[in-house]
Chains A and B, each alone.
Chain A
Amino acid sequence: MARFFASPGAGRVLTSPHVIAGGLIVAAVFLCALFAPWLAPHDPEDQNLIVRLLPPAWMAGGDPAYLFGTDGLGRCVLSRLLYGARVASYVAIVASFGAMLLGGVLAHIAGYFGGRTDWLIGRMVDVLMSFPPVILSLILITALGVGVNKVALAIVLVDWTRFYRVLRSEVLTVVQRDYVAAARLLGYSSSQIIWREVLPATTPLLITLLSLEMGIAVVVETILSFIGLSVEANVSAWGVMIADARNYVHQTAWNLVLPILAVFLTVLGFNLLGDGLRRTLDPRLALRVGR
């Protein structure tokens, strides 16, 4: 770790505007999620039917007690957004790490050993890739049942192929390098070589994909909670808020715009971070750009 921070790569990463902007947004979302119970001014499920559909506090008719206004049942939009960040962050972290583990492990095994294992996993990927991702997640949710953890599991089962496809071809090129051949000649076991020689070379790509996958996971969770297949009825999620707000589009746009903005900012954060990491962590790309 210490060696990483002293390397020129670390300087590149930590001064990249993409990484800084994305990192700040992502950190803010995670902090909101972590401290939601302390930050939220109201209970997110508390209905106050006297103050239904209030506009945000800065608009005419707004109530300073409800900074972002209230929804159709008189619930505090700000509090619901903060609690929604919990669901989003949870799914983003669990699902993307799961997909990374499954896809990464299989990619390294298939890329390193090749042969029949590679063929078999490749055909599995073909089958999964012949579904549009949304359709596959819907079918899996039908089978697995409803709930946040099921959603995370469905995302893992759908999206490990994203890691697999990219990482496998990277492993194939890394395995060709002389230092891997040298390690083989020195008599290291396959698992040692994968762990100590191949993995360090594929880690930049792994981290980049992880960041992008978190954004994808947030979107999928929003989709499934929008359709009503993710969280229980008494949990705030951004997709649920969007679905609720659709019934009131003619009265107020804020209820719809705010959760959409929350999804947008979160995904933008992950995308910026991933993009910045891709440009700065990969020495070849960084040299070509000329940083």
Chain B
Amino acid sequence: MKRPTMLAFGGIVFILAVWEAACLTLDIPDFILPRPTRIALVAITRSDILLPHAAITALEVLLGISISLLVAVPLSITMFAHPSLENAIAPFLVASQAVPVFAIAPLLVVWLGYGIASKVLMAAVIIFFPITVNLLEGFKSCDHEYRVLFQLMGAGFWQTMRLLYGLWALPQFFSGLKVGVSVATIGAVIGEWVGAQQGLGYLMIQANARLKVDLVFAAILWLSLMGLALWVLVGYLEKKIITWK
């Protein structure tokens, strides 16, 4: 194991040990703050409850990622091809991020209903921005000399996009995607809190109302693992696709 990984692992173990010791020493009841070992046990033994809800949240997140990609990639290309359009759209993009997701979640539920559509859109709204901005900046970061080379070869915009800009921007695209997938669960869970009939967010609200705090923590653990798995998956894809780095 590499030193930074060992340090991170050691840090997590230390925090969990202090947490465990504090709960035992101070005799904190499980409905206030359950011990980490208790949370881990619930996360495993109650997987029959957690798994179906996690599957729904995962579906919302994956659909959110897909939709945001379908919108972010063409929009970045359009803004790159037409800088005047970028100037016109950029303020709206920034404004969309300045509005707290909590503020728009009830509206989306009203408009799209209690099904997964509103949650998918919430996740997409959160992921969309880092992907768009990173991809656009990736296109722009292409060296002038390479642009001149393609210009002199007589390449059109789409040829240059396919052979140069698109591949040039891939590292930045993956950086944006990593940020996006890490926070994607936030959108889905907020949507589920506001109004849903399934999903980890819904389960957390239900468990919290019954003072099953250990189940709330177990749901949080599953959410964290889901975000981590997505982050690792994107990192793996990045390594597989960007072989020239």
A is bound by B: no
